[in-house]
Amino acid sequence: MSRRQLELHIDFARCDGRGLCTELLPELLVRDDWGYPVGRGGRDVHVPERLSDAAQDAVDLCPLQALMLRRVTRA
Amino acid sequence: MTAMTLDPRQLGTGGLFAAGRPDLAAHEAAYGRRPSGWTRKELLAELDASGLTGRGGAGFPAWRKLAATGSGRAVVIANGAEGEPASRKDATLLREAPHLVLDGLVTVGEAVGASTLFLYATRDSLASVAQALAERRDRPKVKLVEAPEAFISGEASAVVNALETGVALPRDKALRLGTSGYEGRPTLLHNVETLAHLALVARFGASWFRSAGTAEDPGTRLYSLSGDVPTEWVVEAPGGATVRDVLRLGHAEPSSLAAVLVGGFHGAWVPAEAFDLPLTGRGLARYGATPGAGVLMGLARGRCGLESSAGIVRYLAESSARQCGPCMFGLPAMASVIERIAAGERTPWLASEAERLAGLVTGRGACRHPDGSAKFVHSTLAVFRDEVQAHLSGMCTAHRGWA
Ligand code: SF4
Ligand code: SF4
């Protein structure tokens, strides 16, 4: 069965690892050894519905527009 | 570098190098003229029946890429940028059989109604392609674009970037190539070897293609043989050939080797005891190896696998395009840890630190370079497990103990 889910995509070619998003979304993202966001799923992090607003804030506030929120269908 | 072919009877018409010379007359004498007029639907069905998969690394079924290419002002790209230092097959093919590649490019171009055809390869390869183009009666308009000699220059998004902007750097692939690739147009990108096989499938049909190889791995494949072998060869072998078959074909003595790196620097080590396994994803599943772009790099018995691997991880780290933090910082960190193990540093947690870093960079780049590099590190630690333990306790079998 396939499910629609919300996913936070990180464009690592844009991100500079200053870590604003990890402060806004501590439930989803932690910082790696160099300050870049780490979440389960690498560059496509599953976002539970209850965190969708916080994730949208992170997208809007990321200074480098390195984040994107999208709905995907997963098998 | 010479191209060699296994028994021609196993290769149907004699394989990709049957023309023997790169000119059009030899090409048509060997294979006949290029059949034109394939529609997308017909070609898709024939490719599906043939089982042809991509020969550039990822190994996707060729029909699926065709199916994923949207209609409209489509673009077809022949990718001959190998990047990998140990890969020679695409350059050899473009030098010795350029017309086969052009036939494939023009055939898919017709099938998708492409308005633009590109051939992307390094300077030397482009020279032979330009010569071939000048000879052709069908005068296809193919734009030749030079690829830099860099590891990641052949990555799909780097290719599209190079064609658009002249800079061969990967970019984040939030969009799909098939529907929104080069200048936002539907884009079909194939490795040049895939196109050469496709040209033959279009001529002789799916069942001819399947007359070589196995049901799981039909047709033939090119392999670049390098490392601790007497000569570097490009060999053509039927699908399903074992590691041993391909080594023998390239006049390398399998018993002189401790392991072979299969699939290139983003590939995996296969130890000597597994040389009788077929060079397929399923055959080599235990080692996480796939034929990939067909690189086989030998490691001689008595040489230190960790030292060789450390050199490769350092090379991979230096090949980072330095756009993505986890790749730019993580790969050098990983390389340092493997180097410390190889040098015999007695620090017990180094192996788990290498595993941790490999896990940390996986999936965290705009392209798959960190993933491929991490996969190589996992493979090194698994296949050379005993050597790792020996090194961490101060011994190296190749260097006869520092202990
Ligand atoms: S806020 Fe944006 S630039 Fe900053 S670490 Fe997060 S993704 Fe990267
Ligand atoms: S992952 Fe590495 S090689 Fe790929 S685009 Fe990012 S920095 Fe460049």
pLDDT in tens, chain B (403 residues): 455 555 544 555 578 999 999 999 999 999 999 988 899 999 999 999 999 999 988 889 999 999 999 888 999 999 999 888 899 999 999 999 999 999 999 999 999 999 899 999 999 999 999 999 999 998 899 999 999 988 888 888 899 989 998 888 888 765 578 888 888 899 999 999 999 999 999 999 999 999 999 999 999 999 999 999 999 999 999 999 999 999 998 899 999 999 999 999 999 999 999 999 999 999 999 999 999 999 999 999 999 999 999 999 999 999 999 999 999 999 999 999 999 999 999 999 999 999 999 999 999 999 999 999 999 999 999 999 999 999 998 888 777 656 5
Q: What percent of chain B has pLDDT over 70?
A: 95
Using most ligand atoms within 8 A of CB, pick from A64, A65, A69 the residue to mutate for ligand 1. A64
Mean pLDDT over each residue of chain B, to the nearest integer: 92
Confidence (pLDDT) at B400: 63
Contact B174 A42 (CB under 8 A): no
Instruction: Determine contact, residues B52/B189, Cβ cutoff 8 Å.
Output: no
Residue B191 touches chain A, beta carbons under 8 Å: no
Residue among B171, B333, B364 whose CB faces A43 most closely:
B364
Interatomic CA distance for residues B279 and B244, integer angstroms: 9
Determine the residue type at B371.
D
Confidence (pLDDT) at B9: 47
The residue among B236, B210, B209 whose CA lies nearest residue B222 is: B236
Residue-wise burial string across A24-48, b where 16 or more C-beta atoms lie within 10 A, e elsewhere:
bbeebbeebeeebbbbebbbbbebe
Residue B298 DSSP SS3: strand
A42: chain B residues, CB-CB within 8 Å = 362-364
Residue B63 DSSP SS3: helix
A64 pocket-lining for ligand 1 (C-beta < 6 Å): yes
Contact A12 B363 (CB under 8 A): no
Interatomic CA distance for residues B14 and B30, integer angstroms: 9
Give the start-end residues of each E strand in B6-141: 75-79, 116-121
Atom 4 of ligand 2 has which residue's CA nearest to it?
A: B367
Helix (H) or strand (E) holding B383: helix B369-383
Which residues, other chains included, contact B353 with Cβ-Cβ below 8 Å and sequence gap of 6+?
B337
Q: Is the ipTM of this complex over 0.90?
A: yes
A30: chain B residues, CB-CB within 8 Å = none
CB pairs under 8 A between A and B: 56
Residue A30 touches chain B, beta carbons under 8 Å: no
- B175 CA to centre of ligand 2 in angstroms: 17
A67-74 sheet: strands from edge to edge: A44-47, A3-10, A67-74
